[in-house]
Amino acid sequence: MLIKAKNLVKSYKSEGVSHRIVDQVNFSMKHGEFIIVKGVSGSGKTTLLNLLAGILTPTDGEVYFEGSDITKMNDRQLSQMRNQRVSYIPQNDTLLKTLTLWDNLHLPFFLGKGGEITGDQLDEKLTELLKEFGLWDRRNAYPSELSGGEMRRALIIRAMALDPELILADEPTASLDPDTTLSVMEKFRTVSNRGIAVLLVSHQPQTYSYGDRLYEMKDGKLRPAKEHR
Amino acid sequence: MKKRLLHGLIYIILGLIVSIGVLTVFHACPVMKDMIMKCYWTQRVSVAVGIGIVILGVLAVFVKGKGFADGLDVAAVLFGVLLILLPTVLIGVCGAKHMHCHAATRPALMIAGALTILYGGCSILWRRRNKEA
Amino acid sequence: MEKKKQRSVGRYIAGYAFVSIRQKPFQSGILGLFAALMAFTLFTGTLLGSGMRSGIGRMKERLGADLMIVPEGQRAKTEKLLLTGNPEFSYLSSDLEGVAREVKGVSRTTSQFYFSSVSADCCSTRVQLIAFDPKTDFAILPWINREEIKKTKNGQVLIGADVIAQKNHAIKFYGQEHPVAGKLSPTATGLDQSVFMTRKTMNQILKDAKNKGFKFLSPKDEGKVSAILIKAEEGADLQKIETTIAKRATKMGEAVDIVQTQKVIGTVASQFSVFDKGLRIWEIAIVILSAVVLLLVFSFSFRERKKEFAILRIVGITTQRIRALTRVQGLMISLAGTLAGLVSGGVIVFAFWTWISDSFQVPMITPSILKVLQVTLSAAFFTVVLGLIAADIATRALGNAETYFTLREGE
């Protein structure tokens, strides 16, 4: 099992009352699986992803990544995990606007631990990916010069740069036109076909059919959903 | 417009510092019993050069055109060179170390000249660099 | 392979820090300005203080005479002469020298004659001319470097360290050239701007002046002296000597003032002490102000970049690495500001050294290259370290914010 959430709870206190954003979630995922989680705004999808990425600490429960309990990891271990093994694509555009696309893609390598790959190998890989995703000519552009679709594709490339085992994506097709949405989903499919597990959160029905499995998040609870074809 | 204003303002301030400074804080030796020292002439010419730099600054604010801007900066650099040469080679100041013109006027003019050359030169290089970019 | 990545990591971090600095030119400018201000203040303050301290020390060592007898009312002018070389004198009887020599506790005496003139070489200000007796002198001769010029021939002159002579080593007074026999080493006093000669040479100059229509000496003043210098025996009571001489002078009908030279130095030293204290307070104020501004602006700047740091955390960058990034940025700005401060400080201090000394009326000796280097490094080190600390504190304050909320803020 790649990732496993056990009785996961995240709650916040507001005016003395406790609110459960994630309520007793039990969930697991295998290597190479493509899972889509649907749900309305405020259902706790983003919180779930943040818990799985180790960005948030659960109020209760555990998260196991390749058998290790991430809730017990220190900052260095969590950083290394996010750098090399679990890539997280948050909802907002998260390329650094002061760097070119090329430099942004090198960020996890140069500033993080980088893993086994060398600088030259990374350059080769990024070149290949940029060409495959149609962004090679845009490598020297700044994020402000990229379109919405280009930005999302760039984020996918950055997420893939250091050969992670899992990619967590939060609403990657939000505010994209239908054609671009489908194109981005195709890319995720391609990524998954390469053996990288993808857990993607979306509220757009046209995206649901791309995954191997579909789940629904409602009122903090995660349940398998009926698939839409 | 903002950039031109700032650029021109810097020249205006430099020019005013020279022309006013050399008549006040950094004054030359006074005329004594019809004896006019060479530092007096250095002072007078420096005032004129200072006014010249002020005029360059005013022109820099109001006149557009890259070629013209380059020309203004070159003129400023030349004025800067003049400010350095005036108290040293061209006219000079009194020889004694503790004379006010030697201790204050001369170094002040040289520093003002160096600053003008530095700023004018950097301005030309900066414009050239942005042109290429 | 690891080595190659290490080199590139450094360059990447430096490049990243540089881009961050350029992104916010106004903030970076303020930070650099205050770093420059700190470095400038520390550098100039320390050098000026050191120069003045050395100047006073030199003055103390070498003033030569312990006491000076001058005409009554000339006390203030004597002090002025010792410090700035600005002349104006009246005269007293040379017989007083013999009287002073006989007082208990007096080791040696010598007389001097002061006169100010306009020299063709020395521009618009008058130059102090001092006539001394080479046989009895103990105040001027110790300042001369070479043995052979201790005997100043008639017609020759000795010049102070700051006097500029003509190229053929002669100085002109009232149309007559006088060869320069030697130059005194710097005394950090007004004597640096004086010209020294025998009484005979002085008389010749006065005659040349008279021929040109300048009448400086009235007949009653001929043969008189401007001051009588006294060297006391080791351990002698200067106050006692002063009182005795004053009494005997009054008996002779001579109205005199007696100046204890160490007291003159005392005045200067206390003036300097006030200035020094003021300087120290100013330095401390600037350092505190700069430190506060650096901290505030760094804090503000990093708070604005919370989202950026959150992105870095998400792609797996440790907090240590983020701190390294901000430290590099702090270092770059501090170094740039420090360099600007030191260069401008150096230019101003050394260009206006003489003017500063004259304005404060405190003797100043130019520091050695070693001293300048030492002061430069200290000021640079202090400023850079303070800048780094400010950047570090500002980053640490950020470290507690949960990444999640930072990103959520944008939604």
* Maximum Cα interatomic distance, chain A, rounded to a whole number of Å: 55
- Position B132 in a domain: no
Nearest Cβ partner for B95 among C123, C347, C351: C123
- Position A127 in a domain: no
State which of A62-71, B42-51, C64-73, C138-147 shows the largest mean pLDDT.
B42-51
Name the DSSP class of B101. I
Number of domain units in chain B: 1
Q: In sequence order, which residues have a C-beta less than 8 Å from that of residue A198 and are 6 or more positions away?
A: A33, A34, A35, A166, A167, A169, A188, A191, A192, A211
- Cα–Cα distance measured from residue C72 to residue C94, given in angstroms and rounded to the nearest whole number: 15
- Cα–Cα distance measured from residue C73 to residue C65, given in angstroms and rounded to the nearest whole number: 20
Given a contact cutoff of 8 angstroms between Cβ atoms, the answer to whether A109 and A163 are in contact is no
**pTM of the complete model:** 0.78
User: Which of B97, B105, B109, B118 best probes binding to C when mutated, by most C CB atoms within 10 angstroms?
Assistant: B97
Q: What's the residue count for chain A?
A: 229
Give the pLDDT band of residue C369 (cuts 50, 70, 90): very high
Minimal C-alpha gap between C224 and chain B (Å): 30
For chain C, domain boundaries: 2-59+268-408, 73-254
Interchain proximity A96–C404, CB inside 8 Å:
no
Given a contact cutoff of 8 angstroms between Cβ atoms, the answer to whether C70 and C226 are in contact is yes
Structure ipTM? 0.89
Closest to B109 (Cα-Cα) out of B13, B14, B37, B32: B14
- Secondary structure class of A50 (helix, strand, coil): helix
- Cα–Cα distance measured from residue A203 to residue A199, given in angstroms and rounded to the nearest whole number: 14
Give the pLDDT band of residue C411 (cuts 50, 70, 90): very low
For residue A209, the domain's CATH number is 3.40.50.300
Nearest Cβ partner for C123 among B99, B107, B110: B99
Please check the confidence at residue C121 and state whether its pLDDT lies above 60.
no
Exposure letters A47-63 (e unless 16+ CB within 10 A, then b): bbbbbbbbbbebbebeb
Q: Which domain holds residue A7?
A: 3-92+160-224
Q: pLDDT tens-digit profile of C217-234?
A: 666 777 788 888 888 888
Q: What pairs with residue C358 in β-bridges? A: none
- Position A87 in a domain: yes
Q: How far apart are the first and last CA of chain C?
A: 41
Structure tokens at B114: 């160096």
Q: Which residues of B touch C (CB under 8 A)?
A: 29-30, 32, 35, 37, 39, 94-100, 102-104, 107-108, 110-111
- Position A217 in a domain: yes
Give the pLDDT band of residue C374 (cuts 50, 70, 90): very high
Closest to B113 (Cα-Cα) out of C358, C32, C347: C347
**Residue C7, Cβ density class (10 Å: 0-12 exposed, 13-18 middle, ≥19 buried):** exposed
- Position A22 in a domain: yes
Cα atoms found within 13 Å of the Cα of residue A21, Cβ hemisphere only: 19
Tell me the pLDDT of chain C averaged across its residues. 81
Interchain proximity B98–C85, CB inside 8 Å:
yes
Q: What is the separation of C-alpha C96 from the centre of its chain, rounded to a whole number of angstroms? A: 37
- Cα–Cα distance measured from residue A172 to residue A211, given in angstroms and rounded to the nearest whole number: 14
Q: What pairs with residue C157 in β-bridges? A: C180, C197
- Cα–Cα distance measured from residue C338 to residue C346, given in angstroms and rounded to the nearest whole number: 12
Name the DSSP class of C226. S
- Position A121 in a domain: no
Please check the confidence at residue C148 and state whether its pLDDT lies above 50.
no
- Secondary structure class of A100 (helix, strand, coil): coil
Other Cβ atoms less than 10 A from the Cβ of A207: the count is: 23
CB contacts < 8 A (B, C): 54
- Position A155 in a domain: no
Interchain proximity C314–A82, CB inside 8 Å:
yes
Interchain proximity C164–B95, CB inside 8 Å:
yes
Number of domain units in chain A: 1
User: Which of C26, C81, C123 best probes binding to B when mutated, by most B CB atoms within 10 angstroms?
Assistant: C123
Structure-token match 């930072």, residue found = C406
Cα atoms found within 13 Å of the Cα of residue A75, Cβ hemisphere only: 11
Q: pLDDT tens-digit profile of A29-43?
A: 998 899 999 988 778
Name the DSSP class of A59. S
- Position B16 in a domain: yes
Q: In sequence order, which residues have a C-beta less than 8 Å from that of residue A68 and are 6 or more positions away?
A: none
- Position A82 in a domain: yes
For residue C2, the model assigns a pLDDT of 46
Instruction: Give residue B127's identity as a one-letter amino acid code.
Output: R
**Residue C383, Cβ density class (10 Å: 0-12 exposed, 13-18 middle, ≥19 buried):** buried
Closest to A10 (Cα-Cα) out of A70, A61, A77, A66: A61
Please check the confidence at residue C326 and state whether its pLDDT lies above 70.
yes
Other Cβ atoms less than 10 A from the Cβ of C274: the count is: 9
For residue C122, the model assigns a pLDDT of 45
User: Which of C84, C122, C124, C125 best probes binding to B when mutated, by most B CB atoms within 10 angstroms?
Assistant: C124
Q: What is the separation of C-alpha A97 from the centre of its chain, rounded to a whole number of angstroms? A: 20
- Position A197 in a domain: yes
- Cα–Cα distance measured from residue C347 to residue C374, given in angstroms and rounded to the nearest whole number: 17
Q: pLDDT tens-digit profile of C250-271?
A: 888 888 888 888 777 777 778 7
Q: In sequence order, which residues have a C-beta less than 8 Å from that of residue C390 and are 6 or more positions away?
A: C291, C294, C295, C298, C330
CA-based Rg of chain C, rounded to a whole angstrom? 32
- Secondary structure class of C188 (helix, strand, coil): coil
Q: What pairs with residue A89 in β-bridges? A: A169
